[in-house]
Amino acid sequence: MCLNMDYRSLLAIKRKGLRNRNWLRLSIEDRGLFRCAMWVARVHGSIVNLKLLVRVLGIVLRMLENASMCIWRIGKTRAEALERAFREKGLFDWAPLMTDWLRDKHYVIYLGVGGF
């Protein structure tokens, strides 16, 4: 599979990040790397270097993140922490349905909103 990013797609992503204010949440290094990637894509047509592409895609994911994605990420982190704690203490022996709860979409969203 050949995945490359051109200048127009990076510019659209940057505009979206500016609109949803995620551009301001990026570190100065990430912003600089994204600008350099835009320059490379403009000069060379697209980004084909795999290392640069992976780094830029990580930045793109953070720039396109919206509120529901943030809630899901926080809830997933909390659910994984609860699952580790329950496994260490052996609580799944007497509450086996808790594993289903920790993998349930609605419960993960509940944890992300602040139900911890």
pLDDT band at 43 (very low <50, low <70, confident <90, very high): very high
38's CB contacts (< 8 A; 6+ apart) are 7, 10, 11, 14
pLDDT of residue 42: 94
pLDDT of residue 36: 94
CA distances in angstroms from 94 to 16, 71, 80, listed in the order given: 48, 29, 19
Domain-wise residue ranges, the chain: 5-65, 68-113
Q: The pTM is what? A: 0.66
CA distance 19 to 66: 11
37 has a pLDDT exceeding 50: yes
Contact, 83 vs 99, CB < 8 A? yes
* Residue 9, H or E segment: helix 7-19
CA distance 24 to 52: 21
pLDDT of residue 1: 41
pLDDT of residue 86: 86
